[in-house]
Amino acid sequence: MVAFGGWLVAALFVIEFVKMALEALGLLVLVNGTQEEKLTLIEALELTLEGYFIGQLIPISAAGVPYQGYLLTRKGVRAGWATAVVIVKGFVSGVFFFIVLVVTAVLVAVGWEGVAEASTFLKIVGPLAALPTGFVVALLVTMLKSPQFFDRLVDRVAAFLASKLRGAAAERVEEARVRMEEESHTFRAALTALGRHRRWILFWGIALIVLAFVVEFSVAVVILWGFGYRGGFLGPLIPQALLKPILFASPMPGSLAVGEGGYIAFFAVYLPAHFVGVSLVLWRLVVYFVPMLVGGILVAKRIGRSGFDTRTSTPSPDGIPESD
């Protein structure tokens, strides 16, 4: 760590803060560009950090997404529209990783030397990464192209669960089914409105979210540089983009063990063995532990506080707010 240098450690935390700020800006653009209820940058940053904490606390990192949607509904955004905004973020990441996976496979197939290190990751983690990313893309296509089939699928899943449950649990399943079908139509309408009438809003939201991932991946690249790696920037980004969907889908809180295993293999590709352990600890500290600590403090402060409670208007299904 002494050889790494204190200024580089500080730079890592600055990079991670920039990543959080970019993700918050993406959320800010998607909400403020479509709603009368406006978020401030501080609110968007708080919401992002809190969602990050929830996502790391609960198995499967995507758990932070519904929490962000919940906070938006407390702000006055209709549940379906709030769902559309936060799931757009999830779909953007899924489609982005899917594109990286496909492009990397093509580049490796044609023998491009710039992704030589990524070829091993592609062979080992590529099929695993394809499962969650493929699921996200398939779900997006189904919801947009076959809404009736999606509704039937929800009905069948709810019927199966209700047949296995009794009493209040079965009633909650039915309530969830009705709510999901109602809000899924608003969700599709919101996505359609973004695509047709708010294209620049959608474009900038997507660009900021993708850029946030690139900045996050640069944390590990800077760690490599600090321990003597002198290669390019693009090469180490590709293996991380292949690993990220697996970390998202990991059933362990904070992708523990899965993340360690993946990044041990990642750092071992670029660094001598005696630098791998300290690199892993530094990466986990910067990318997970400190943001999780800050998010946990914000969640604790929110308990009993009435933030995000103002309701001033209700968005119409086509995405154009209606005043009370």
pLDDT at 312: 45
pLDDT above 90 for 249: no
Confidence band of 183 (pLDDT split at 50, 70, 90): low
pLDDT above 60 for 19: yes
Confidence band of 316 (pLDDT split at 50, 70, 90): very low
pLDDT above 90 for 185: no
**Average pLDDT score over residue span 251-264:** 78
Which are the contacts of 81, defined by CB distance < 8 A and separation ≥ 6?
A: 34, 35, 186, 187, 190, 315, 319
297, HSE (Cβ side, Cα atoms, 13 Å): 5
pLDDT digits (tens, 9 = 90+) for 127-165: 777 777 777 777 777 777 787 887 788 788 878 877 777
pLDDT at 323: 39
Three-class SS of residue 250?
coil
pLDDT above 50 for 319: no
Cβ burial of 115 (10 Å; 0-12, 13-18, 19+) is buried
pLDDT above 90 for 13: yes
The secondary element (H helix, E strand) that includes residue 223 is helix 199-226
pLDDT at 253: 66
Which residue did the predictor score with more confidence, 75 or 19?
Answer: 19
pLDDT at 286: 92
* Residue 146 in tokens: 């076959």
| pTM for this prediction | 0.77
CA-based nearest residue to 198, from 71, 44, 35, 25: 35
pLDDT above 60 for 318: no
Q: How many helices (H) and strands (E) does the chain have?
A: 12, 2
**Average pLDDT score over residue span 279-293:** 91
Confidence band of 116 (pLDDT split at 50, 70, 90): low
257: left (phi over 0), alpha (psi -120 to 50) or beta: left
Helices (H), the chain: 6-32, 41-57, 64-75, 79-109, 116-145, 147-164, 168-197, 199-226, 234-249, 258-270, 273-284, 290-302
187 vs 65: CA distance, rounded Å: 14
Confidence band of 22 (pLDDT split at 50, 70, 90): very high
Three-class SS of residue 238?
helix
Which are the contacts of 21, defined by CB distance < 8 A and separation ≥ 6?
A: 45
pLDDT above 90 for 16: yes
7 vs 14: CA distance, rounded Å: 10
Which of the 8 DSSP states describes residue 4?
T
pLDDT at 308: 52
Identify whether the C-beta of residue 210 lies closer than 8 Å to the C-beta of residue 98: no
* Residue 155 in tokens: 């009905």
**Average pLDDT score over residue span 245-256:** 74
* Residue 40 in tokens: 């401030």
Output the average pLDDT for the chain: 78
Which residue did the predictor score with more confidence, 35 or 290?
Answer: 290
Identify whether the C-beta of residue 22 lies closer than 8 Å to the C-beta of residue 39: no
pLDDT digits (tens, 9 = 90+) for 202-234: 888 889 999 999 999 999 999 999 998 888 888
pLDDT above 80 for 11: yes
Confidence band of 115 (pLDDT split at 50, 70, 90): low
Identify whether the C-beta of residue 30 lies closer than 8 Å to the C-beta of residue 205: yes
Which residue did the predictor score with more confidence, 297 or 129?
Answer: 297
pLDDT at 56: 77
